[in-house]
């Protein structure tokens, strides 16, 4: 099949490369000429393990193309995917659908023959209806079907998630879309992946509801961690004990500094507003949003407490600034709350991240970025593990102790065993453990 993918961000590029690897002919389209130029040179706009090789292989084999002007690709396409950004709108937290509707208008003027128009972007319930209205208004004669096909990709594991998903959700209102969508995902039949066809509005809500549930799960275990600290329990053992229950499961039960990234913060906000507007408020999700925001802000207070309650004139080392490992994504990362709060308290903050520093330098200009973890540790009064990159999981603690001004570690990801670190002469604190 011939596929046009509008947007070469995280979702569009990964999805486009994976569809090409399935054997489809894919053109990824983006208005940003410099991004397309870099992609044609094999330079990825994001860090995602394995993506550069996947793109290179499919470009070489003539299945993956890039374009600034996507007119020809859209005309020839059996399916056109909308994979543009839907950021939270400034001021009110609603999903900003400007780029989605712009893409719909562009598509409307170009499609020829029956075309499936697929929303891959995360959009509020009813967006597909509006896309259909826009296209129908522009091209009353056009033969098309608008489909919702939400992505469920984890940054850092996106390629595997696309090729070996738990399920593929497809929301349709026109039965003509069923066959081409089935053909697009036919390679997944080998994995016996469930292809779940629903109504379009149902599909749109599935995406938001899934992300909100996972965000609630993270927030729940974070609050349990706070309780563990008060009563002398171990949150990791609590998480294991409840996660072994198949009704609960172990995933997303890792206590830490709060969730961030490109999905959970904006999607929970958007769902809250959707529910309020519909007159069916989701109180649990509203509370999740509030608790998570407060938690990220409170992490700086933990660091200051480890310094004896005063950060003025002290140097803080942050190991990791991306919202999670194996990505360079800084969107709503805990570091964006922690670092400014520490600086406001009078501390000097120096940091290292294996992949996110280029973007972080723009967002955290007052932070001193170092070339490696030990360079960031040098002269620090406290070392804070903020992102659990693999290279931070087995630090040479003797070297850390020698380089740091004070032997204090605040482990906000529970990477280390408390007894092991304390045995090496450190003052050590973590999340939800004595």
Q: Which two tokens stand for residue 192?
A: 């016996």
27 near 14, Cβ under 8 Å?
Answer: no
For the chain, state the CA radius of gyration: 23
Q: 320 — phi, psi (to 5°)?
A: 95, 130
Spatial neighbors of 309 by CB under 8 A, at least 6 apart, are none
Q: Which two tokens stand for residue 99?
A: 């780029």
Spatial neighbors of 393 by CB under 8 A, at least 6 apart, are 415
Q: Give the Cα separation of 319 and 352 in Å (integer).
A: 5
Q: Which two tokens stand for residue 282?
A: 């989701």
Spatial neighbors of 213 by CB under 8 A, at least 6 apart, are none
Among 18, 28, 228, 263, the active-site one is 263
Q: Give the Cα separation of 135 and 119 in Å (integer).
A: 13
Q: Which two tokens stand for residue 160?
A: 């595997």
According to DSSP, the β-strands at 64-67 and 25-29 are: parallel
390 near 325, Cβ under 8 Å?
Answer: yes
28 is a catalytic site residue: no
CA angle, corner 307, sides to 304 and 312, nearest 5? 70
What letter does residue 117 receive in the DSSP assignment? Answer: E
Q: Which two tokens stand for residue 70?
A: 């996507």
What letter does residue 352 receive in the DSSP assignment? Answer: E
In order of 36, 200, 234, 420, 421, the CA distances from 430 in angstroms are: 43, 44, 11, 13, 11
Count helices and strands in the chain by DSSP H and E runs: 17, 14
Q: Which residues are catalytic?
A: 263
């Amino acid at each position: 099949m011939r596929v046009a993918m509008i947007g070469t961000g995280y979702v569009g590029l990964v999805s486009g490369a994976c569809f090409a690897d399935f054997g489809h002919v894919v053109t990824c389209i983006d208005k940003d000429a410099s991004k397309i130029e870099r992609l044609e040179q094999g330079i990825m706009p994001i860090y995602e393990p394995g993506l550069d090789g996947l793109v290179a292989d499919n470009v070489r084999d003539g299945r993956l193309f890039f374009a600034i002007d996507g007119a020809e690709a859209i005309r020839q396409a059996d399916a056109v995917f909308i994979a543009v950004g839907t950021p939270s709108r400034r001021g009110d937290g609603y999903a900003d659908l400007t780029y989605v509707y712009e893409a719909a208008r562009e598509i409307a003027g170009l499609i020829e023959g029956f075309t499936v128009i697929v929303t891959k972007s995360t959009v509020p319930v009813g967006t597909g209806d509006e896309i259909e209205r826009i296209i129908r208004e522009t091209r009353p004669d056009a033969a098309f079907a608008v489909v919702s096909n939400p992505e469920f990709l984890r940054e850092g594991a996106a390629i595997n998630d696309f090729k070996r998903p738990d399920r593929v959700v497809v929301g349709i209102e026109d039965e003509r879309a069923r066959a081409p969508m089935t053909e697009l995902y036919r390679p997944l039949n080998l994995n016996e992946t469930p292809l779940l066809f629903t109504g379009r509005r149902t599909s749109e809500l599935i995406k938001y509801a899934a992300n909100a549930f996972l965000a609630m799960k993270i927030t729940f275990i974070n609050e349990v961690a706070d309780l563990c600290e008060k009563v002398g329990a171990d949150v990791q053992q609590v998480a294991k004990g409840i996660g072994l229950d198949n009704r609960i499961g172990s995933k997303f039960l890792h206590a830490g500094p709060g969730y961030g990234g490109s999905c959970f913060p904006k999607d929970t906000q958007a769902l809250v507003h959707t529910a309020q507007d519909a007159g069916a408020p989701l109180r649990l999700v509203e509370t999740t949003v509030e608790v998570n925001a407060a938690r990220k802000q409170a992490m700086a207070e933990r660091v200051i407490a480890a310094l004896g309650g005063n950060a003025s004139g002290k140097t803080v080392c942050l190991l990791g600034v991306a919202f999670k490992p194996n990505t360079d994504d800084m969107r709503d990362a805990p570091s964006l709350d922690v670092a400014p709060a520490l600086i406001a308290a009078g501390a000097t903050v120096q940091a290292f991240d294996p992949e996110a520093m280029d973007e972080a330098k723009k967002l955290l200009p007052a932070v001193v970025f170092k070339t490696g973890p030990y360079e960031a540790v040098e002269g620090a009064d406290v070392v804070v593990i903020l992102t659990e990159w693999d290279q931070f999981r087995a630090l040479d603690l003797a070297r850390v102790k020698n380089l740091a001004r004070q032997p204090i570690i605040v482990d906000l990801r529970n990477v280390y065993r408390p007894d092991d670190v304390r045995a090496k002469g450190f003052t050590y604190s973590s999340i939800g453990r004595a």
